[in-house]
Amino acid sequence: MARSFPVPIRRWRRRGWGDALIWIIRIAAILVIAWGISGTVAQSVNGEGPTGEAWRDLVVAGVAQGALYGLIALGYSMVYGVLRFINFAHGEVFMSGAMVGFFVADHLWEIRLWETNFILAILMVLASSILTSALVAMLVERVAYRPLRGSPRMIPLITSIGIAFFLQYTFAGLFGVAVKSYPPPPDSLRSRVEFLGFEVEGTKLAVMGVALVAMVGLYLFVERTRTGRAIRAVAEDSEMAALMGIDVDRTIVTTFAVGGALAGVAGTLWALLFRGVSFITGFLPGIKAFTAAVLGGIGNLGGAMAGGLLLGLFEGVGPQLVLGGFGVPAVSQLKDVVAFTALVLVLVFKPTGLFGERLSDEDRA
């Protein structure tokens, strides 16, 4: 007669090795990070590490770039909250706004408005980027996703990857594959300014300020407006929302438009920071923004914002703080490795993300 174990013991036998492996990974990660940080601290004590000014610049650059990731990540989280799938074409929505914004900026440079009235010029570029990204997002929803509504989730997910490649090579065919450089911002914006006791480059300060305004605007839109309440209702239960008189199709396309508009804002800010754009500009920032959304908790708008900022800090400070302590050369070139490693570690310690995944009643059931 076969020996039978109580149910709790059988469950432990099935899960024990997996849980033990997870704990081994957790402990190893903590030891490696602690060892790297201690090595960096020792270098600083001996006067061998980066100066205080260098650390400040790393933090500021990380926060500025993280703000961009947060803006793009909001689009991922909004679509996931309503339709429960990841729109992997969102990075190309971001790219489309940045690409069209370049042509507007280049024309304004040619007529010298970029130099004589930079604020008006950048507002015109911002408007063109927002309009383009919002229209592309709405078009993608109408043509690619709406006919698949109600299909198994894997089908729209695969479709989104196909749409991403379609948009990439459509823009490559229309505008070429060469990197296009935005005109340089004025010297007054590139110079350092005093802010909260720190000297910060004006461009990075402008990026952080505009990103903050956009994020607060989205929060007020979702929480305080009738359309925002409709979006939250559809995200919670689309069938019940339809019974209550909400136009579900219109609400979904509005969600895509708002997410696209935020991606357009990020496209202009990206151009201010890095200037160069091409048909593949959206690929890596899009993947990292998705990482930020998962890091904060997919479907959680506040988590997407926080996840973007944390990811930017991981990229900016993490390589020097951890890998520098091991004497790894050229640590700044390993920022992508550090960013994605940070995501893996967060999911190992907290699988639902730092702030928890937001689920509808149907998904909770």
User: Within 10 Å of residue 233's Cβ, how many Cβ atoms?
Assistant: 17
Q: Which pLDDT tens digits describe the chain residue by residue (365 residues)? A: 445 545 555 555 556 666 777 788 888 888 888 888 888 888 777 777 777 777 888 888 888 899 999 999 998 998 888 888 889 999 999 999 999 999 999 999 999 999 889 999 999 999 999 999 999 999 999 999 999 888 888 898 899 999 999 999 999 999 999 999 999 888 877 777 776 666 778 888 888 899 999 989 999 999 899 999 999 898 888 888 888 888 999 999 999 999 999 999 999 999 988 989 999 999 989 989 998 888 888 878 888 888 899 898 888 888 888 877 777 777 777 888 887 887 788 778 877 777 766 554 445 44
Q: Do residues 319 and 338 lie in contact, with contact meaning Cβ atoms separated by under 8 Å?
A: yes
Phi, psi of 153 (to 5 degrees): -60, -25
Name the residue type at position 297. G
Rg of the chain over CA atoms, in angstroms?
23
pTM: 0.86
Domains and CATH numbers, the chain: 53-318 (1.10.3470)
> What string of DSSP letters covers 62-104?
HHHHHHHHHHHHHHHHHHHHHHSS--TTHHHHHHHHHHHHHHH
The tokens describing 249, both together, are: 């199709």
Phi, psi of 5 (to 5 degrees): -100, 150
